[in-house]
Each structure stands twice: as structure tokens, then as C-alpha cells.
Amino acid sequence: MSIVVERYTKIKSNIASLKPIKPVNIIAVSKTFPIEHIHPLIEYGHIHYGENKVQEALAKWSEQKKINPNLKLHMIGKLQSNKAKDAVKIFDYVHSLDSQRLADALAKHQKSLNKEIEHFIQVNIGNEIQKSGIPVSELDPFYNYCVNEINLKIIGLMVIPPNDNNSAKYFKSLNELNNSLALENLSMGMSSDYVDAINHGATFVRIGSSIFGARS
């Protein structure tokens, strides 16, 4: 068993020990790693992978997805609206829906390419100026616009909490917002805080270094 698969199975076992109410999907954050480093996990049967750059994802995953159509690719980084068309081509999920301009672009290209992808609305839960995301005060109208006016498939909310060692507070708040919209999924938690995230309802966690090792 490769070290990558060994790390992955330990994390999966740890998640199972938490006895989450809903199934938890591990997004193996493969950004910057060559496909050769990721292959053992693909061969093991894991299907969810995360990238943060559209061009890197196209170059790395286009052939892999032809070979294995079950693979699911997640856009977890900032997405510019001018990259929306290529994003729709390669990704199955977008976790960083953070503006009406991006929503309109994604809707337009999904229609033209006849492909539906799934979206998480990124929420700026800490009202941080330097972070992307929809402010909490604008979440309800933005959600209604996406769902009712442009027919985007919104499956949940996403958050990257402030770096103040109090992630659990923000995870709890996002879970409450998610429930208020009757959404089924939550994208939150990384290598350092996925346990707290799962304990507050996360169904997708983004784990990179704990699986693939440190990035060079």
C-alpha cells in the first residue's frame, strides 16, 4: 500500500469513528501535485479530487476523466467569470460561487455546453474584507436568484473560516444558515479542522497535505 493510500485510509477511519449523521465525502486536494503522485489513490478507488486552477485541472484531469468517468472534480479556489466556460467543461462541482457575475457566467455556459454541475455558495461568514464570499446579509436573495432566476443547482454552502482558532463557531453558524435554506450539503473543513467541521454537519471536507504530503 502506498503512503498516500495509507494516509487516506487512516483519515477515512478517523471520520468513521466520529459517527457523522450524514455521509462525509473526502475531497483529496490534488492541486500542484503531478498526476503520478495521485494515481495510487485513483487506483484505490477514491473519486473526489480538488483543484484551484482551471488550466491546471484541464491539463491534469481531461485524459483521466475519459479513462475513468466516475471521477469527480471539485473547483475549490477563486473562480473568475472569464474562466467559467472551461470550468464547466472539466469540473463537476464549484465550491466558490461568490458573485452574481460568476453565477450568470456559469449558468450561461452550462446551458451552451448542455452540462449541469453542482454548486456551493461561498459565504464570507467572518465579514473579512480580504476574503471572497457572499455576506450573510445578502445570502437569501443571492440564493433565490441562483435557484429561481437562472436555474443553478445549489446543493449547499461553503466556508473558509477566519484564522482565529475558533473554527467551530463559524462551522456552527454556517450549519444554521444551511438549515435555514433547507440545503443538504456543507463544504467546510480542511486537514487541520475537519473533525470540528464534521461535528457541525460537514458533508464535504477538503484534505490535501494530510493525504499527499507537503507541497514543494
Q: What is the pLDDT of residue 183?
A: 98
CB 168 within 8 A of CB 200: yes
Q: What is the pLDDT of residue 149?
A: 97
Q: What is the largest CA-CA distance in the chain?
A: 49
pTM over 0.85? The answer is: yes
pLDDT at 124 over 70: yes
pLDDT at 187 over 70: yes
Does residue 53 come out as left (phi exceeding 0), alpha (psi in the -120 to 50 range) or beta? beta
d(CA 134, CA 63): 34
CA 124 to chain centre: 15
Query: Who's near 122: CB < 8 A, 6+ residues apart?
Result: 95, 96, 97, 98, 132, 133, 134, 157, 158, 159, 160
pLDDT at 130 over 80: no
32-41, 85-94, 99-108, 162-171: least confidently modelled range:
162-171
Does residue 122 come out as left (phi exceeding 0), alpha (psi in the -120 to 50 range) or beta? beta
Mean pLDDT for 60-69 is: 96
pLDDT at 201 over 90: yes
119: exposed, middle or buried (Cβ count in 10 Å: 0-12, 13-18, 19+): buried
In CATH terms, 3-13+25-212 corresponds, of 3.40.50.720, 3.20.20.10, 3.40.50.300, 3.30.450.40, to 3.20.20.10
CA 81 to chain centre: 17
DSSP string, 187-207: E---TTTHHHHHHTT-SEEEE
Mean pLDDT for 159-167 is: 85
Mean pLDDT score across all residues of the chain: 95
d(CA 87, CA 95): 12
pLDDT tens for residues 33-53?
Answer: 999 999 999 999 999 999 999
Q: What is the pLDDT of residue 169?
A: 93
pLDDT bin (cut points 50, 70, 90) of residue 216 is low
27-41, 71-85, 134-148, 159-173: least confidently modelled range:
159-173
Alpha helices in the chain (DSSP H): 3-17, 35-44, 54-67, 84-90, 100-113, 139-144, 167-180, 194-199, 209-212
pLDDT at 128 over 90: no
d(CA 172, CA 27): 21
d(CA 100, CA 121): 11
Mean pLDDT for 165-172 is: 90
- Three cell numbers at 199? 461535528
